[in-house]
Structures are given as structure tokens and as C-alpha cells.
Structure 1
């Protein structure tokens, strides 16, 4: 890992004396980011877990994404969409690099502490098990949809063709419907 947290800490330290206007803008920028972080970091972790990340990996990716977001904060128009794209890409990179080793599910991150509401949310119903059986792209598109994004918005954020997004969404929904239908018959 790079020394990004040290850089973020350095960015947050008071700067040499400047004009009152500059201080006010910097203070407002920090407050705005702080409020965003508190309101959305757990949601970002849940977004990643839903796409197949272990909780510990999801919290690490979310934290790294928030550090990158802080550095670019003043240039980002849609911070949650930006964070989802960046975090989702990192998750894809990590999932591609994972070897099938023993995974310790009891591992937690300092970001969430020990057992969290996310753990209960992930285990609460059959939906999560079905979701885990979907191919990565179908799962990704479905999760973005449940987060309130339209296929066109998803296509724009993920740099995909809108027809591809709709096709993957249709396939994912069909798979879930078939699974739920089988469960009702048992």
C-alpha cells in the first residue's frame, strides 16, 4: 500500500496562515467531505459486499476509495457514483487476482469494527445466495440497479453500452426469478 493515508493526514493538517476566505473555503470543503464520508462509507462497503467482496476487502477498498475521493473532492460532480465506479473497478482487480485459498470470513476491518449490521444484511435472506451465483457483470448491474441507477446511468458510469446493461439486468432478473420459483416449489 502507498503512503496515501499519510498524505491525506498531511492535507488535513492546518496550513500556514492564509486569508479568511481561503480558510473558510478549506473548512467548508473538509466539513462537506466529512459529512459525505460519514453518510456513505458504510453504504459503499455494502455495495461492494453485495458484488461479492469479503467484508474486510470491501472496507479496505472503501477506505482507499474515500482517500482518492478526498484528493479529487473539489473536481467531482457526483461523488457517490464516482466512488462506486472506482471501488467497483478495484474490486474487479482484486477478484481477478484472488487465488482459491482458505478465506477467513471472521476477518474484520477497523472501519467497521467487529460484527456489523452489514453482516446481518448480507446473511438475511436467500437473495444474497442467489446473487452470489450470478456472473460478475450481471451481479454488478443488478446491484447498481438496486442502488437506484437506471440502465442508461449505469452504462454511463461503467462505460458500457446501454443495451449490454439492459441485457445483463434481464438475465440476472431471470436467474433470480427462476431460483425464487424453485424455492417456492420445495
Structure 2
């Protein structure tokens, strides 16, 4: 009888150690994800049109929700962006025009210093039609047209076409040809 008890106790000890190891690995994976994705997520939301503070708040909300559901999340990058997009929408804040009201350099979501080119890009992105802007922002964040299509509920061809149109529109906005010849 004691042999069975020892064997059972040993098995429980191993199971407890394994559970503790799994929890530790989960916490480490989450911490790595947080470090790698926090600022890119904020940048993604700003490029979509969110005000910097709203972007920070929505990113924080997404990471809190991710911690609660971490074991069930299969693709953290996509999941975080989807939850953060919903958080911005839920905040019911209108898109804020890029002006002196928000100094992107002071809020530092785009690394330590924001260049004039980045400000121009954000302004141009905000002028794109909503679907083109959405597709371009996902692409800028490293997603393929197939992944974008899946997340937006459109066909891969529609994503590629939207990406092409967004690039063409951005090119026209950011690099206008001088009038009166070449």
C-alpha cells in the first residue's frame, strides 16, 4: 500500500513541477511578446488613425486581455491587433486629424524620434479610403496579403488589389509630380 502512495505522490510531484514549468514558460512567452509587440502595436493603431493616447490605451487593454487568455491564443500578433482595433472603436473616439493637438514625438510610439517623413506618411495614410488604409497598415506591420484577407474577411485577391491601390494613392500623395513637365 505504501508503494502505491509513494508512486502516486511522486507522480503528483512531477505533475506539479510540470505545471509550474508550463506556467513559467507561458509567462516568459508573454513577456517576450509584450516587449516585441507593444510599440509596433501602438504604431499600427496610430497608422490606422487612432490618437496616440487612444493607441496606447487600446494596446494596454489588448495586452491585459491577452494575459487572461494567453494559453488559448494561437497567433498573438494578429490577436492583439484585432482586440486593440476593437478597443479603439469601443472608445468611440473619432479619428483625430494630424495637427499640433498631438505631438507624436512627445508620446514616442514610433521609437525615440519621429521624422518629418513619418508624419507625412501618417497624414497620407489617414487620407486613404478606409479599406485601403486598413490593408496598407496591416501590410506595413508585416502581414502577407493572405493573412490580411483572413483578418479582414475579404479574398486574397481583394487584399492584393487594395494593397496595390493603396500604394498607388500613397505614391501620388507623398511624391507628387511637379506640374509643367518632368
Please indicate the TM-score interval, normalised by the length of the shorter structure. Answer: 0.7 to 0.9
1:98 to 69, 83, 94: 94
SS in 1 for 2:49: coil
**Number of equivalent positions:** 162
Q: Which structure's CA Rg is the greater one? A: 2
Asked whether 1:175 is paired with 2:174, we answer: no
- CA pair 117-67 structure 1, distance change in 2 beyond 3 A: closer
Name the stretch that deviates more: 59-68 or 141-150. 141-150
Equivalent residue number for residue 155 of structure 2: 161
SS in 2 for 1:185: coil
Name the stretch that deviates more: 152-161 or 57-66. 152-161
C-alpha separation in 1, matches of 2:43 and 2:175: 26
- CA pair 185-43 structure 1, distance change in 2 beyond 3 A: same
CA contact (8 A) 2:135 2:163 kept: yes
- CA pair 99-130 structure 1, distance change in 2 beyond 3 A: closer
Root-mean-square deviation (Å) = 3.0
Asked whether 1:37 is paired with 2:3, we answer: no
Asked whether 1:116 is paired with 2:108, we answer: yes
TM-score (norm 1): 0.73
Name the stretch that deviates more: 164-173 or 29-38. 164-173
C-alpha separation in 1, matches of 2:155 and 2:85: 17
Instruction: Name structure 1 gaps, 5 residues minimum.
Output: 1-17, 109-113
C-alpha separation in 1, matches of 2:109 and 2:175: 28
Structure 2 counterparts to residues 1-186 of structure 1, below 5 A? 19-94=16-91, 97-98=93-94, 104-105=101-102, 115-116=107-108, 118=110, 120-121=113-114, 123-125=116-118, 126-182=120-176, 184-185=177-178
CA contact (8 A) 1:45 1:58 kept: yes
**Offset, 1:117:** 5.4
**Offset, 1:66:** 0.7
